[in-house]
Amino acid sequence: MDSVVPVAMASVVIGALMAVVFFGKYLRKRTSEVHSMAKAEPQEDPIRIPKSNPKKNHPKSHHATSTDKNQNKQRHHPLDLNTLKGHGDSVNAICFSSDGKSLATACGDGVIRVFKLDDASSKSFKFLRINLAAGGHPSAVSFADDDASSIVVACNTMSGSSLYMYGEEKQKEQHHSKLPLPSIKWERHNIHDKKAVLTISGASSTYGTGDGSAVIASCSEGTDIILWHGKTGKNLGHVDTNQLKNHMAAVSPNGRFLAAAAFTADVKVWEIVYLKDGSVKEVSRVMQLKGHKSAVTWLCFSPNSDKIITASKDGSIRLWNINVRYHMDEDPKTLKVFPIPLCDAGGNPLHYDRLSLCPEGKILAATHGSTLQWLCAETGSVIDTAEKAHEGDITCISWAPKAIKVGEREAQVLATAGVDKKVKLWEAPKLQSV
């Protein structure tokens, strides 16, 4: 009996030890799981933070955006009046109507827009929208009359270049608040074989016996230039620059002269001769501007049509008097030569891509890349500069022929267009600042 008791006691002790070991392992396992779960919880925070952070940081992000906008406003040039937005691609050409109250734009998105500029400081503008045929790429635009009711568009396609004249239908009184819809009045196809149209330039034929109708010159990328009657689309004459290729051409404001820059140092000038009935008799070459040492990049006429300003890759601007007796072999005269006040980082002179002289003939606007400058036409000195006038290259510039309303006042306004899909309006600087 005595021997049974120790055996029983030993069994109990062994059983207790086994229970302790078993429950010890169980408790360690549960503790380990609890610790594992406790360690896993912090790993969930980075996954949730990106989802919650935008909401939490949204006010900060909005504040940063507002700050950027304020900084952009501060960086805006003081002459920057307004921006015409809504273009879907690069704006290739612009043109003011003769009264300055309409501005036509030719955009790479295949749309011509004619903005009504009742007030250049307005927050929004009414505009006519002209959708070109699919595949057409508008390269140039010009008004075909004085009341801005018709417009000529140059369009380039794979098969060649075409001209379209769009005219507005007469507006009825009950629809006075709506802009009339344009329709095609005439069209001419393959006008320069398969070569693209680079520029078109129009003016009213007011010189001599001209009848006041619009004459429009289309300049191809080849060597030919064609003169057209704006209202009828009649071919009035054809000239050949006989040079490597054209760069641009312009008709003088009074419709008397046609001048072309063609990647050479010389500029050729033709006279548009009118008959007594006002029709065009011929287009004859009358003079050549010689003096630049490198290719002429752009030219523009003075408002009275008796002078031409040229810019060249030789780093200079020249003012020419073309009001000479060329019938008696009198040559045009160089009145002034100005150095182009632009240099690259290495100090090398740059050239101007575009020129436009204001209606008063006192301020010359010029561009290189995205830089816009205003120069005194009398001295060639810089009045003001906008180094990044556009977010990319400036494609065209044009002065409004007359002063435009800007709030409670009127001002001379320059329009610029660029590859950034924008058209900007700029006020003319004060000459007193020179």
pLDDT value of residue 145? 83
Stretch among 6-15, 82-91, 335-344 having the lowest mean pLDDT: 6-15
**How much is the mean pLDDT over the chain?**
85
Structure token digits, residue 2: 């005595």
pLDDT at residue 427 above 60?
A: yes
Q: What confidence category does residue 404 fall into, taking pLDDT thresholds of 50, 70 and 90?
A: very high
Tens of pLDDT along 135-169? 789 999 999 987 788 999 999 988 899 999 999 76
User: SS3 sequence, the chain?
Assistant: CCCHHHHHHHHHHHHHHHHHHHHHHHHHHHHHHHHHHHHHHHHHHHHHHHHHHHHHHHHHHHHHHHHHHHHHHHHCCCCEEEEECCCCCCEEEEEECCCCCEEEEEECCCEEEEEECCCCCCCCCCEEEEECCCCCEEEEEEECCCCCCEEEEEEEECCEEEEEEEEECCCCHHHCCCCCCEEEEEEEECEEEECCEEEEEEEECCCCCCCCCEEEEEEECCCEEEEEECCCCCEEEEEECCCCCCCEEEECCCCCEEEEECCCCCEEEEEEEECCCCCEEEEEEEEEECCCCCCEEEEEECCCCCEEEEEECCCEEEEEECCCCHHHCCCCEEEEEEECCCECCCCCECCCCEEEECCCCCEEEEEECCEEEEEECCCCCEEEEECCCCCCCEEEEEECCCCEEECCEEECEEEEEECCCCEEEEECCCHHHC
Is the model's pLDDT at 83 over the cut of 60?
yes
Of residues 360 and 75, more confidence is placed in 360
Of the given ranges (75-79, 286-290, 315-319, 369-373), which has the lowest mean pLDDT? 75-79
- The per-residue pLDDT for range 192-224, each reduced to its tens digit, is 988 999 999 999 999 999 999 999 999 999 999
Percentage of the chain exceeding pLDDT 70: 79
What is the C-alpha to C-alpha distance for residues 115 and 101, in angstroms, rounded to an integer?
Answer: 8
Exposed e or buried b per residue across 148-167, where buried means at least 16 C-beta atoms within 10 angstroms of its C-beta = bbbbbbbbbbeebbbbbbbb
249-261: per-residue pLDDT in tens? 999 999 999 999 9
Contact (Cβ atoms closer than 8 angstroms) between residue 153 and residue 163? yes
Give the model's pLDDT for residue 298: 97
How confident is the model over 99-106, as a mean pLDDT? 96
Closest CA to 387 of 82, 75, 69: 75
pLDDT of residue 6: 56
Mean pLDDT, rounded, for 264-284: 95
Judge whether residue 178 has pLDDT over 80: no
pLDDT band at 20 (very low <50, low <70, confident <90, very high): low
Cα–Cα distance for residue pair 429/412, rounded to 1 Å: 9
Phi, psi of 39 (to 5 degrees): -75, -25
Instruction: Kindly tell me if the per-residue pLDDT of 379 is higher than 70.
Output: yes
- Sheet-wide strand order for 382-386: 354-357, 363-368, 371-376, 382-386
Question: Given this model, what pLDDT does residue 37 score?
Answer: 34
